[in-house]
């Protein structure tokens, strides 16, 4: 990573942290882009070279998560489709606490209460599902057709979303990201259990990780 890339990453993170603090302190609707930019010590016009909208500040790593999943799919080796998705989920948790930490808890609260955030979350989720499902169908043509790939991806994303909602609400503010991540991984593994069965018509038995 070049010096310029590091400086951009630092500014981007400063924007996310400033936005989270302002959203929690004074409310989402009451916080302006200008206030967020000022808190991160940049100009308002410069803000838009980092994020297209205020909503996007709550989803800073969504594209990274999709890239992790796609990379696992492209280099799946002998691992089955469901196991590939579970491995991607584990890597996301190892790489960052964005999915299970304090920002995740804030994001969940705002999705539940702010229509603009809810709409953006749904759009990003649907886009991610389409992209992941397309890559699954291409990577496993002898195991998944387009419908099967969409069903598996939907089951996976739905399990992650549902488990996160309950676990984050129970844990308060995502103060222990590792525990949240682990609870979500266990729940998703159980939710995808049918996709590991030998008699499943769309999937072969994937290789399970060693204990």
Q: What is the mean pLDDT of residues 47-59?
A: 96
Domain spanning 3-52, CATH class: mainly alpha
Q: How many residues does the chain have?
A: 211
Residue-level pLDDT at 192: 92
- If one compares 195 and 112, the residue with the highest pLDDT of the two is 112
Percent of the chain predicted with pLDDT > 90: 78
Measured CA to CA, the distance from residue 115 to residue 118 in angstroms comes to 5
Measured CA to CA, the distance from residue 114 to residue 52 in angstroms comes to 18
Residue-level pLDDT at 45: 94
Percent of the chain predicted with pLDDT > 70: 91
Please say if the pLDDT value at position 204 is more than 80.
no
Structure pTM? 0.87
Q: Is 198 exposed, middle or buried (0-12, 13-18, 19+ CB in 10 A)?
A: exposed
SS3 category, 165: helix
**E strands present in the chain:** none
Question: 172: pLDDT confidence band, cut at 50, 70 and 90?
Answer: low
Reported as a single tens digit per residue, the pLDDT across 101-134 is 999 999 999 999 999 999 999 999 999 999 999 9
Q: State the CB neighbour count (10 A cutoff) for residue 209.
A: 10
**Structure-block tokens of residue 8:** 């951009």
**Domains of the chain: which residue ranges?**
3-52, 59-196
> Do 89 and 160 meet the contact criterion of CB atoms below 8 Å apart?
yes
């Amino acid at each position: 990573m070049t010096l310029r890339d590091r400086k951009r990453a630092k500014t981007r993170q400063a924007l996310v942290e400033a936005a989270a603090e302002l959203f929690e302190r004074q409310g989402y609707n009451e916080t302006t882009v200008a206030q967020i930019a000022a808190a991160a010590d940049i100009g308002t016009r410069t803000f838009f070279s980092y994020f297209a909208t205020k909503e996007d500040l709550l989803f800073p790593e969504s594209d990274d998560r999709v890239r992790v999943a796609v990379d696992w799919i492209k280099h799946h080796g002998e691992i089955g489709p469901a196991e590939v998705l579970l491995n991607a989920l584990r890597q996301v948790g190892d790489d960052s606490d964005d999915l299970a930490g304090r920002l995740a808890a804030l994001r969940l609260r705002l999705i539940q209460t702010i229509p603009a955030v809810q709409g953006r979350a749904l759009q990003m989720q649907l886009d991610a599902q389409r992209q992941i499902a397309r890559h699954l169908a291409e990577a496993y043509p002898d195991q998944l057709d387009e419908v099967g790939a969409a069903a598996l991806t939907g089951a996976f994303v739905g399990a992650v979303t549902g488990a996160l909602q309950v676990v984050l609400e129970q844990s308060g503010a995502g103060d222990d990201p590792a525990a949240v991540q682990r609870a979500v991984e266990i729940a998703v593994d159980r939710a995808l259990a049918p996709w590991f069965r030998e008699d499943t018509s769309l999937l072969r038995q994937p290789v399970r990780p060693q204990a």
